[in-house]
Amino acid sequence: MKKLRVPLSNPAALRAGDEAVLSGTVYSARDQAHKRLVALLDAGRPLPVDLGGQVIYYTGPAPAPPGRVIGSAGPTTSGRMDAYTPRLLDAGLAGMIGKGYRSPAVVESMRRNGAVYFYAYGGCGALYAQCIRAARVIAFAELGPEALSRLEVEEFPVLVAIDAAGNSILA
Protein backbone atom coordinates (compact mmCIF):
# COMPACT_ATOMS: atom_id res chain seq x y z
CA MET A 1 0.00 0.00 0.00
CA LYS A 2 1.52 3.30 -1.13
CA LYS A 3 0.71 6.53 0.67
CA LEU A 4 0.73 9.29 -1.93
CA ARG A 5 0.38 13.07 -1.72
CA VAL A 6 -1.76 14.79 -4.36
CA PRO A 7 -0.88 16.73 -6.46
CA LEU A 8 1.56 13.94 -7.35
CA SER A 9 5.26 14.61 -7.18
CA ASN A 10 6.24 11.82 -9.56
CA PRO A 11 3.35 10.13 -11.41
CA ALA A 12 5.78 8.29 -13.70
CA ALA A 13 7.04 6.29 -10.70
CA LEU A 14 3.67 4.55 -10.25
CA ARG A 15 3.02 1.12 -11.76
CA ALA A 16 -0.28 -0.38 -12.92
CA GLY A 17 -1.60 -2.56 -10.13
CA ASP A 18 -0.16 -0.45 -7.29
CA GLU A 19 -2.60 -0.06 -4.43
CA ALA A 20 -2.48 3.42 -2.93
CA VAL A 21 -4.20 5.92 -0.67
CA LEU A 22 -4.22 9.56 -1.76
CA SER A 23 -4.06 12.55 0.58
CA GLY A 24 -4.10 16.20 -0.43
CA THR A 25 -6.04 18.14 -3.05
CA VAL A 26 -7.94 16.91 -6.10
CA TYR A 27 -10.50 18.60 -8.35
CA SER A 28 -13.90 17.12 -9.15
CA ALA A 29 -15.13 17.50 -12.71
CA ARG A 30 -17.31 15.40 -14.97
CA ASP A 31 -19.14 15.66 -18.31
CA GLN A 32 -20.35 19.26 -18.56
CA ALA A 33 -17.35 20.71 -16.70
CA HIS A 34 -15.04 18.92 -19.17
CA LYS A 35 -16.99 20.30 -22.10
CA ARG A 36 -16.65 23.80 -20.68
CA LEU A 37 -12.94 23.47 -19.84
CA VAL A 38 -12.16 22.39 -23.39
CA ALA A 39 -14.36 25.18 -24.78
CA LEU A 40 -12.24 27.66 -22.78
CA LEU A 41 -9.04 26.11 -24.15
CA ASP A 42 -10.48 26.27 -27.69
CA ALA A 43 -11.27 29.95 -27.18
CA GLY A 44 -7.74 30.59 -25.90
CA ARG A 45 -9.09 31.73 -22.55
CA PRO A 46 -7.67 30.87 -19.11
CA LEU A 47 -9.06 27.93 -17.14
CA PRO A 48 -10.67 28.63 -13.74
CA VAL A 49 -7.83 26.64 -12.16
CA ASP A 50 -4.30 25.80 -13.32
CA LEU A 51 -4.40 22.07 -14.03
CA GLY A 52 -0.60 21.79 -14.10
CA GLY A 53 0.35 18.70 -12.08
CA GLN A 54 -3.20 18.30 -10.72
CA VAL A 55 -5.51 15.27 -10.42
CA ILE A 56 -9.17 15.31 -11.54
CA TYR A 57 -11.70 13.05 -9.81
CA TYR A 58 -14.69 12.15 -12.00
CA THR A 59 -17.53 12.49 -9.53
CA GLY A 60 -20.87 14.22 -9.07
CA PRO A 61 -21.49 14.08 -5.32
CA ALA A 62 -24.81 13.71 -3.55
CA PRO A 63 -25.82 16.75 -1.44
CA ALA A 64 -24.15 17.02 1.98
CA PRO A 65 -26.45 16.01 4.84
CA PRO A 66 -26.36 18.33 7.91
CA GLY A 67 -23.01 18.16 9.71
CA ARG A 68 -21.13 16.71 6.73
CA VAL A 69 -18.91 18.38 4.15
CA ILE A 70 -20.17 16.23 1.28
CA GLY A 71 -22.66 13.46 0.52
CA SER A 72 -21.84 10.16 -1.18
CA ALA A 73 -19.11 10.79 -3.73
CA GLY A 74 -17.96 7.74 -5.67
CA PRO A 75 -16.43 7.67 -9.15
CA THR A 76 -18.39 8.00 -12.38
CA THR A 77 -17.59 6.32 -15.72
CA SER A 78 -14.34 7.77 -17.08
CA GLY A 79 -14.95 6.86 -20.73
CA ARG A 80 -17.44 9.71 -21.15
CA MET A 81 -14.57 12.15 -20.56
CA ASP A 82 -12.29 10.51 -23.15
CA ALA A 83 -13.12 12.98 -25.92
CA TYR A 84 -11.91 15.87 -23.73
CA THR A 85 -9.12 14.26 -21.71
CA PRO A 86 -6.16 14.53 -24.16
CA ARG A 87 -6.67 18.33 -24.30
CA LEU A 88 -6.53 18.55 -20.51
CA LEU A 89 -3.49 16.28 -20.33
CA ASP A 90 -1.75 18.53 -22.87
CA ALA A 91 -2.66 21.45 -20.58
CA GLY A 92 -0.74 19.78 -17.74
CA LEU A 93 -3.23 17.46 -16.01
CA ALA A 94 -1.17 14.72 -14.31
CA GLY A 95 -3.77 12.26 -13.09
CA MET A 96 -7.38 11.13 -13.22
CA ILE A 97 -9.54 9.10 -10.87
CA GLY A 98 -12.59 7.21 -12.15
CA LYS A 99 -14.01 3.85 -13.11
CA GLY A 100 -14.04 1.91 -16.36
CA TYR A 101 -11.67 1.77 -19.32
CA ARG A 102 -10.10 4.57 -21.35
CA SER A 103 -9.78 5.02 -25.11
CA PRO A 104 -6.50 4.30 -26.92
CA ALA A 105 -6.22 8.06 -27.62
CA VAL A 106 -6.31 8.81 -23.87
CA VAL A 107 -3.71 6.13 -23.09
CA GLU A 108 -1.45 7.51 -25.85
CA SER A 109 -1.83 11.03 -24.45
CA MET A 110 -1.08 9.75 -20.93
CA ARG A 111 2.18 8.23 -22.21
CA ARG A 112 3.13 11.42 -24.01
CA ASN A 113 2.36 13.54 -20.95
CA GLY A 114 3.53 11.14 -18.23
CA ALA A 115 0.10 10.96 -16.58
CA VAL A 116 -1.59 8.24 -14.55
CA TYR A 117 -5.17 6.90 -14.30
CA PHE A 118 -6.43 5.65 -10.94
CA TYR A 119 -9.33 3.26 -10.48
CA ALA A 120 -11.65 4.21 -7.61
CA TYR A 121 -13.97 1.51 -6.27
CA GLY A 122 -17.14 1.85 -8.37
CA GLY A 123 -20.40 2.45 -6.53
CA CYS A 124 -18.63 3.12 -3.22
CA GLY A 125 -19.99 6.62 -2.68
CA ALA A 126 -20.52 6.28 1.07
CA LEU A 127 -16.96 5.00 1.55
CA TYR A 128 -15.43 7.91 -0.38
CA ALA A 129 -17.56 10.45 1.51
CA GLN A 130 -15.54 9.46 4.63
CA CYS A 131 -12.26 10.33 2.84
CA ILE A 132 -13.24 13.86 1.81
CA ARG A 133 -12.46 16.48 4.47
CA ALA A 134 -13.45 19.64 2.61
CA ALA A 135 -15.22 20.57 -0.60
CA ARG A 136 -15.44 23.97 -2.28
CA VAL A 137 -17.00 24.92 -5.60
CA ILE A 138 -14.42 26.68 -7.82
CA ALA A 139 -16.37 27.20 -11.04
CA PHE A 140 -19.55 26.35 -12.95
CA ALA A 141 -21.67 26.45 -9.76
CA GLU A 142 -24.83 26.44 -11.88
CA LEU A 143 -24.05 22.82 -12.83
CA GLY A 144 -24.95 21.72 -9.29
CA PRO A 145 -23.41 18.29 -8.63
CA GLU A 146 -21.42 18.70 -11.87
CA ALA A 147 -19.66 21.88 -10.73
CA LEU A 148 -15.87 22.06 -10.71
CA SER A 149 -14.87 21.69 -7.05
CA ARG A 150 -11.71 21.51 -4.99
CA LEU A 151 -11.70 18.51 -2.66
CA GLU A 152 -9.35 17.90 0.27
CA VAL A 153 -8.95 14.14 0.55
CA GLU A 154 -7.36 11.92 3.16
CA GLU A 155 -6.40 8.26 2.70
CA PHE A 156 -8.55 8.00 -0.40
CA PRO A 157 -8.21 4.37 -1.63
CA VAL A 158 -7.38 3.74 -5.31
CA LEU A 159 -5.54 1.35 -7.60
CA VAL A 160 -3.22 2.45 -10.37
CA ALA A 161 -5.27 1.23 -13.36
CA ILE A 162 -3.14 2.63 -16.21
CA ASP A 163 0.37 3.92 -15.58
CA ALA A 164 2.37 6.57 -17.41
CA ALA A 165 4.03 3.89 -19.55
CA GLY A 166 0.59 2.76 -20.77
CA ASN A 167 0.47 -0.49 -18.79
CA SER A 168 -3.06 -1.40 -17.68
CA ILE A 169 -4.69 -3.79 -15.23
CA LEU A 170 -8.17 -3.28 -16.71
CA ALA A 171 -9.86 -6.39 -18.10
Partner 1 sequence: MLKPERISAAVYRAVLDMHVRLPRDVGTRLEECARTETGVGRRVLEHILRNVGLAGEQGLPMCQDTGLMWVFLQVGEELSLHGLKGSVSQGIAEAYRDGYFRASIVQDPLSRRLNTGTNLPAVFHLDLVPGRKLQIDLLAKGFGSENCSRTAMLQPTAERAEVIEAICAVMRQARGAPCPPVVLGVGLGGTMDYAALLSKRALTRSLADHHPDPYYAELERDACAAVNALGIGAGGLGGSCTALGVAIETSATHIAGMPLAVSVNCWADRRARIVLEEET
Q: Which is nearer to partner 1, 43 or 171 (CB)?
A: 171
CA-based torsion, 26, 165, 111, 113: positive or negative: positive
Helices (H), the chain: 31-42, 85-90, 104-113, 125-129
Q: Which is nearer to partner 1, 51 or 110 (CB)?
A: 110
Smallest separation, CB 141 to partner 1 (Å): 12
Q: Which is nearer to partner 1, 144 or 166 (CB)?
A: 144
Q: Which is nearer to partner 1, 73 or 107 (CB)?
A: 73
Smallest separation, CB 14 to partner 1 (Å): 16
- Please enumerate in sequence order all residues whose Cβ is within 8 A of that of 118, keeping only pairs 6 or more positions apart, or say none: 20, 22, 55, 95, 96, 97, 98, 158, 159, 160, 161
Smallest separation, CB 62 to partner 1 (Å): 4
Go through the chain and tell me how many residues it has: 171
Phi, psi of 61 (to 5 degrees): -65, 155
Smallest separation, CB 29 to partner 1 (Å): 14
Smallest separation, CB 53 to partner 1 (Å): 26
- Please enumerate in sequence order all residues whose Cβ is within 8 A of that of 163, keeping only pairs 6 or more positions apart, or say none: 12, 14, 15, 16, 18, 116
Q: Which is nearer to partner 1, 52 or 122 (CB)?
A: 122
**Which residues contact partner 1 (rule: CB under 8 A)?**
17, 19, 32, 59-65, 71-74, 76-77, 79-80, 99-101, 119, 121-127, 129-130, 144-145, 157, 159, 161, 169-171
